[in-house]
Structure 1
Amino acid sequence: MLKMENVRKNYRDFELNCSMEVQKGCITGLIGPNGAGKSTAFKAALNLIRTDGGRIMIMNKPATELTAKDREAIGVVLADSGFSGYLSIEDLLPMLRSMYSQFEEVWFLEKCKEFQLPLKKQIKEFSTGMKRKLQVLAALSHNARLLILDEPTAGMDVIARDAILNLLREYMEQNDRTILISSHISSDLEGFCDDLYMIDGGNIVLHEETDVLLSEYGVLKVTQQQFEKLDQSYILRHKKEEFGYTCLTNQKQFYSENYPEIVIEKGTIDELIMMMIRGEK
């Protein structure tokens, strides 16, 4: 559904060099620290910025060749953009009708009511969470086949996040639909995504199925002496601690069977990010 091959974008103090693929019918997450390149990658995929090399394919077409009809099949939420604050939801309705031939106005208004979004109030008076809810509902309102969502649950409380994620699960009930999503809230992605890409410094540093990350990756807590005796064939990163070392592995079972005396913890996405970014090879 979406494929980026060696996509480059050069800024004065940052360079994106990204390759990733989002398979049709899958939910793919993009994770990484602030400034890692997530938003730049999203904008490149949508042809919102001019890239300096590489190839981007969306729905089997080069991104630069998408027609207006093709773009109707893409729903977008971007972290640093949204609707004009001087408009109200009522003001948006004729715009959405004209932009999207399959705009589901009745559904959209029902969901605005359900999420307590006032129709007449100017959007600049909305909270951050309310603005995000509106963006997500608009992205879901026109039968898009591909959703590109950059921090779609930012500013929401846990109940609102759960409701939005349930909406996205309902969206995925049709087999031809696909999502690329980023979020700083790792628990959202752990239970939602089929696979995850990690980006750091503009480069993809890891790609793995989420089930594999949660079942086979682990964090070892070892003393200096244990670390020196450890078979490090399957250690991806290590970090010096007061007690010894913390180590990230993608073969938790190997160390569990061969080193029963060491502490092995289940790896979380947060720990994975921290160790991949801060740990040493």
Structure 2
Amino acid sequence: MGKYALELNGVTKQYKDFKLDSISFTVPQGSIVGLIGENGAGKSTTINAILGLIVTEQGKISVFNGKDVNAETKEHIGVVFDGSNYPDNLTPKKLGKVFQNIYAEWNNKKYFELLNKFELPINKKLKEFSKGMNMKYSIAVALSHNSKLLILDEATSGLDPIIRDDILEMFLDFIQDEEHSILVSSHITSDLEKIADYIVFIHGGKVLFSKPKDELLENYGIIKCNSTQFNEIDKSDIISYRKLDYEYQVLVSNRRQVEQKYPKTMIVPASIDEIMLMYVKGDK
């Protein structure tokens, strides 16, 4: 049996106009799992449920191989939201003293090393930080209290490509310890293509798939064809399709088999962005 940093089983939350509908997926220990989906799909609601910020009606959430999410296990969960979640009238230097009293395993040396690495001024109030600076600050805090699981909601949002790349490298370094794991939601799917081991796709409050990233990129493809060729495609091969002005685009999950089956059609690999777009905007 595999070891899991995080398990969701049938998690359900009903709102007036939205339902998180029986969400189930896992974050294997030592892996990075990318959570994707359009705005309003349920990504942030799922993260809020994991952290106990909302009360769910059904399902079970456990961390670190079956433990409940409580004050003890939260000590080892580092969280980064899209935006600052710390008192913005304080400086990093003063907040460091606050965190020493909050986290049992706070590492002050590592905290200041990360602030220096990110070139963050320790005596400047957070309200004077840019969005990118606030994001880097949140990541520094998350990595400074012996976190074993990082939960990141749009953590690379608002950062320039160079800093973003540095942070992705830090995430890859973090999971070199096989007890460390990351769940990261992101609209920047190219980042997930670089670092994720698995992709969980949420749409309309449901998990459409949870698959290894390499399997998605190796197996999925898009057929580009005319109407005559489209009509010849076996409907069981089609996940979804879009009719554009001059062609049909057809998403398939078995690219190499389809290449042999329809040798006259053009088939190209599908990026995670394209897979998501075809699922959301394509016809079934």
Q: TM-score, normalised by structure 2?
A: 0.95
User: Which residue of structure 2 aligns with residue 32 of structure 1?
Assistant: 37
Contact 1:39–1:78 under 8 Å retained in 2: no
- The answer as to 2:262 corresponding to 1:259 is yes
Say which of 44, 49, 53 aligns to 2:58.
Answer: 53
User: Which residue of structure 2 aligns with residue 137 of structure 1?
Assistant: 140
- The CA deviation at 1:100 is 1.8
User: Which residue of structure 2 aligns with residue 6 of structure 1?
Assistant: 10
Contact 2:84–2:134 under 8 Å retained in 1: no
2:86 is paired with a residue of what secondary structure?
A: coil
Q: What are the ranges of 5 or more consecutive residues in structure 2 without an aligned counterpart?
A: none
- C-alpha separation in 1, matches of 2:203 and 2:196: 19
Percent identity over paired residues: 39
- The answer as to 2:216 corresponding to 1:213 is yes
Contact 1:194–1:210 under 8 Å retained in 2: yes
- The CA deviation at 1:81 is 5.2
- C-alpha separation in 1, matches of 2:105 and 2:165: 26
- The CA deviation at 1:98 is 1.3
- The CA deviation at 1:147 is 0.9
Q: What are the Cα deviations for residues 97-129 of structure 1, in whole angstroms up to 9, with x where unaligned?
A: 112222221122122112111111111111111
Q: What are the Cα deviations for residues 58-98 of structure 1, in whole angstroms up to 9, with x where unaligned?
A: 221233xx2x3321111111225511211110121111111
Total equivalences in the alignment: 278
User: Which residue of structure 2 aligns with residue 94 of structure 1?
Assistant: 97
1:205 is paired with a residue of what secondary structure?
A: strand
- C-alpha separation in 2, matches of 1:258 and 1:162: 40
Amino acid at match of 2:40: G
Say which of 164, 167, 173 aligns to 2:167.
Answer: 164
1:179 is paired with a residue of what secondary structure?
A: strand
- C-alpha separation in 2, matches of 1:81 and 1:36: 22
Contact 1:39–1:79 under 8 Å retained in 2: no
- The answer as to 2:197 corresponding to 1:191 is no
- C-alpha separation in 2, matches of 1:157 and 1:260: 42
- The CA deviation at 1:267 is 0.4
Contact 2:83–2:135 under 8 Å retained in 1: no
- The CA deviation at 1:233 is 2.1
User: Which residue of structure 2 aligns with residue 108 of structure 1?
Assistant: 111
- The CA deviation at 1:260 is 2.0
- The CA deviation at 1:244 is 3.0
Amino acid at match of 1:56: I
- C-alpha separation in 1, matches of 2:210 and 2:249: 21
Contact 1:227–1:244 under 8 Å retained in 2: no
1:56 is paired with a residue of what secondary structure?
A: strand
- C-alpha separation in 2, matches of 1:264 and 1:166: 33
1:159 is paired with a residue of what secondary structure?
A: helix
- The CA deviation at 1:251 is 0.5
- The CA deviation at 1:221 is 0.7
Q: What are the ranges of 5 or more consecutive residues in structure 1 without an aligned counterpart?
A: none
1:194-273 to structure 2, matched below 5 A, reads: 194-273=197-276
- The CA deviation at 1:180 is 0.6
User: Which residue of structure 2 aligns with residue 16 of structure 1?
Assistant: 20
Amino acid at match of 1:10: Q
- C-alpha separation in 2, matches of 1:90 and 1:139: 16
Q: Which runs of 4+ in 1 moved over 6 A?
A: none
- The CA deviation at 1:162 is 0.6
Contact 1:224–1:243 under 8 Å retained in 2: no
Amino acid at match of 1:245: Y
1:141 is paired with a residue of what secondary structure?
A: coil
- C-alpha separation in 1, matches of 2:211 and 2:281: 19
